[in-house]
Every structure is written in structure tokens, then in C-alpha cells.
DNA sequence: GAACCGTGGTT
DNA sequence: TAACCAAGGTT
């Protein structure tokens, strides 16, 4: 199967099977797309949806978010996880207001320069919000390419230069929006549509644990299937421990502050995590990350964005 | 390059 | 049930 055939096959599947998601609507603003990409970093769609809706209702533009303290972003982030993303999204909104006239930039380099925006997010926003042509290499796409083209069950732990080169080479030449016009099943496939379609195939069919190969439009051409779907052979993929880690401690501490109306005394944090050494280390880390602001008298709160007044000597 | 950074659903 | 996994980014 050549790449044109690959694009057409996956796009045809996508036009029939894509989930309806608010940030994919043609009316979705670049900011709406950007917020979704931040939230979707390592967090499943189902958990993002309600938080995204509330976020967009409250902060429909970057300037609206930038006008509020970063702690409000952390609070609204809720239990999506990795709350530093909330802080970075707030910082990105602030940079957009300061440096881009309040509009999400439309080119990859300017996006990449924003806090919390890496190679994936810059390519995704440029593609999905602006119809630009970039390789969007997320975990779904990497898995689809590993199976369909390389014949392995899983991609390597880290994306290689060869992988990125392959993704570039596979990119359709056509620019334009990610969604084909309604009722145009044979519309040409844009780079952005290929990106969202290959991601969606990985998310719905070519899944990590139990791929639904019977429903896959690429099953006949898939190198991994043709090879008999051999089990992963290579270094073990790194696991993620959690219970008892600093991450869990940080999560418990921050949850107390999120759920409180105002500043919280140290004693409330002590209840949230019993082990004092780890608790202190976790709290220090949260403060260092800017997720927590220490006040006088052993009080703590979510960040206000206003540096605490220095006591006069 | 490897470690670190949350949370909850699925297998 | 414990392990795995999720539209990554930063240091």
C-alpha cells in the first residue's frame, strides 16, 4: 500500500467512525484546540470533556484566563492530573496576550516557544487549528506506524529520528482543515486530516492492549498482522509506580488546597500525608514549582501570581 | 537519555 | 488484583 492509498483508507475510516468532540468542530477556536491539547497530554478524552467545557465557558479567550491568578487555573484543572499543565497553560495564555496580541500564534515555531508546548502540541495546534502541514507524532500514531509499517507490536520507548523522518515522509502534501466537507466522501486528504485520522485509529482500533484488528481498515496491509502479530520483543517498556511516591504525596497536598476556599494551615496538610519527611519534600517541591504559595504563620494557598510582599528590614 | 510529574479507568 | 495505560513536557 503506497502512502496515497494509506491516507485515503484511513481518512475514509475516519469520516465514518470519528468521535464527535467539541474541539474538532469547525467552529472551535484555536484557543479551544490549544486548551484541549494541553488537557489531553496524558489524560483520556472522557475525563477531559467536562473540564474542557467548564474551562471554555469561563475563559473563552487567552486574555480571559491571563486576567485571573494562576491558582484559579490550578483549581479549575481539578483532578485531571499533572497540575503543572494548568500552570503552563496559564503562562502560555499570558505570553499570548503579551506577545501575540491575544491570539494563538499560527506557526509551529511561535507555538513551540510557549510554556508547556512541545513538539507534539505545537504540531497539533498548527494542524488542527490552522490547517498547517506538520507531522503529528503522538503515542497513537507511533503505535499505528509501528504495527502497520514496521511490523512490531509497540514503538520504542522514545521517538527516534528515523521515526520522525518516516512521519514527515508520510505527510500528505495538501494543507487545509482537518475535517473534510460534509458529504464529500472522496474529498482529498489534507495533512491535518491524516494526522487526526491516524490518531483516532490508534485511539479506537489500534489500541495498546487489545487491538480490534477485525475492525481495522489496514488489517490486510498491516505488517504486524501479516507477521502473525508477534509479541513485543525488546527492552521492557518502563512502568509507572505511584503508590507511596512523592507524586502521590504532592497530589494529596494539592487536593487539600484546591478544595479549600482560602489559605490552609499547615495542620490540614499534615493530615493529608502522614510521613513528615516526604510530606515536607513534596510541599517544598510544590512551592518550587509555583503550584503552592507559602504565607506567613504556616499558611498555604494556591498561587495568586502576586509575589508575597517582602518584610521591610 | 532517563527521571520526574497525577489520576482513574481497563484488563 | 496489580499492572498497564492515557492526544507529553521539562529538566
pLDDT at site A313: 32
pLDDT for the residue numbered A239: 67
Is residue A275 part of the annotated active site? The answer reads no
Q: What is the pLDDT of residue A43?
A: 98
Nucleotide nearest to A159 (CA to C1'): B1
Q: pLDDT value at position A308?
A: 46
Three-class secondary structure of residue A164 per DSSP = helix
Grid coordinates of A141: 500514531
Q: List, in order of start, the domains of chain A with CATH numbers.
A: 246-301 (1.10.10)
SS3 A1: coil
Spatial distance between the Cα atoms of A285 and A283, rounded to a whole number of angstroms: 5
Q: Residue A185 has what pLDDT?
A: 86
Q: Nearest nucleotide to A140 by CA–C1' distance?
A: C7
Instruction: Judge contact between A202 and A144, C-beta under 8 A.
Output: yes
A116-CA/C10-C1' distance, Å: 8
How far apart (Å, rounded) are the C-alpha atoms in residues A180 and A225?
29
- φ, ψ (nearest 5 deg) of residue A279: -60, -45
pLDDT for res A223: 97
CA of A48 to C1' of B1 (A): 30
- Residues of chain A with pLDDT below 70 are 234-240, 306-313
- The answer to whether the beta carbon of residue A63 comes closer than 7 angstroms to any atom of strand C is no
Q: Distance in angstroms, CA of A193 to C1' of C6? A: 22
How far is A90 from A248, CA to CA, in rounded Å? 23
Given this model, what pLDDT does residue A243 score? 85
A203 touches strand C (CB under 7 A): yes
Backbone dihedral angles phi then psi of residue A257, each to the nearest 5 degrees: -70, -35
Output the pLDDT for position A232.
83
**Which one is catalytic: A5, A16, A25, A37?**
A37
Cβ proximity of A47 and A212 under 8 Å = no
What pLDDT does A306 receive? Answer: 65
- Nearest-nucleotide field for A232 (CA, C1'): C4
Q: In the complex, which nucleotide's C1' lies nearest to the CA atom of residue A141?
A: C7
- Residue A309 has a pLDDT of 45
SS3 content of chain A, % helix, strand, coil (to 5): 55, 0, 45
**Bridge pairing between strands A264-265 and A293-294:** unpaired
Distance A157 CA to C4 C1' (A): 15
Helix axes A70-77, A246-259, angle to 10 degrees: 110
Amino acid at each position: 500500500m503506497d502512502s496515497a492509498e494509506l491516507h485515503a483508507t484511513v481518512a475514509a475510516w475516519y469520516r465514518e467512525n470519528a468521535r464527535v468532540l467539541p474541539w474538532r468542530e469547525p467552529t472551535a477556536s484555536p484557543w479551544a484546540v490549544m486548551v484541549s491539547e494541553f488537557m489531553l497530554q496524558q489524560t483520556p478524552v472522557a475525563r477531559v470533556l467536562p473540564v474542557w467545557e467548564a474551562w471554555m465557558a469561563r475563559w473563552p479567550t487567552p486574555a480571559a484566563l491571563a486576567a485571573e491568578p494562576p491558582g484559579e487555573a490550578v483549581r479549575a484543572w481539578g483532578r485531571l492530573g499533572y497540575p503543572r499543565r494548568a500552570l503552563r497553560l496559564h503562562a502560555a495564555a499570558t505570553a499570548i496576550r503579551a506577545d501575540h496580541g491575544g491570539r494563538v500564534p499560527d506557526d509551529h515555531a511561535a507555538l513551540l516557544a510557549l510554556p508547556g508546548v512541545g513538539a507534539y502540541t505545537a504540531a497539533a495546534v498548527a494542524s488542527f487549528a490552522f490547517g498547517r502541514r506538520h507531522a503529528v507524532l503522538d503515542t497513537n500514531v507511533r503505535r499505528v506506524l509501528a504495527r502497520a509499517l514496521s511490523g512490531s507490536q509497540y514503538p520504542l520507548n522514545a521517538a527516534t529520528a528515523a521515526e520522525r523522518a518516516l512521519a514527515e515522509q508520510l505527510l500528505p502534501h495538501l494543507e487545509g482543515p482537518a475535517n473534510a466537507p460534509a458529504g464529500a466522501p472522496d474529498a482529498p486528504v489534507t495533512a491535518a486530516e491524516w494526522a487526526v485520522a491516524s490518531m483516532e485509529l490508534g485511539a479506537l482500533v489500534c489500541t495498546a492492549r487489545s487491538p480490534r484488528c477485525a475492525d481495522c481498515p489496514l488489517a490486510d496491509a498491516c505488517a504486524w498482522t501479516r507477521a502473525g502479530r508477534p509479541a513485543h520483543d525488546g527492552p521492557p517498556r518502563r512502568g509507572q509506580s505511584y503508590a507511596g511516591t512523592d507524586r502521590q504525596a504532592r497530589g494529596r497536598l494539592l487536593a487539600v488546597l484546591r478544595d479549600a476556599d482560602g489559605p490552609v494551615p499547615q495542620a490540614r496538610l499534615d493530615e493529608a500525608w502522614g510521613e513528615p519527611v516526604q510530606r515536607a519534600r513534596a510541599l517544598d517541591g510544590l512551592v518550587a514549582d509555583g503550584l503552592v504559595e507559602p504565607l506567613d504563620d504556616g499558611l498555604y494557598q494556591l498561587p495568586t501570581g502576586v509575589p508575597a510582599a517582602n518584610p521591610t528590614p
